[in-house]
Amino acid sequence: MKSKRTSDGRTLDHHTRQGMRQQVIKAARDGQTAADVAAAFGMNVNMIPVAGPIFA
């Protein structure tokens, strides 16, 4: 099955992924919803809860 995505987070190095995780957490703490954060980072909303209970 062919995917529509041209990029994949698994191709990014560790430091880049760590920076993205920190930005996601900061956005959540600043009051953005999981859907808003996912859209801003080009992620699926189902991947956001991996960052922890920051949206609770």
pLDDT at 27: 87
**Nearest CA among 38, 41, 34 for reference residue 56:** 34
Q: Residue 4 CA to chain centroid, in angstroms?
A: 18
pLDDT in tens, 1-50: 566 666 666 788 889 888 988 898 888 888 888 889 888 888 878 777 65
Give residue 5's pLDDT. Answer: 61
Q: Return the domain boundaries, the chain.
A: 13-50
**Alpha-carbon span 47 to 19, nearest angstrom:** 16
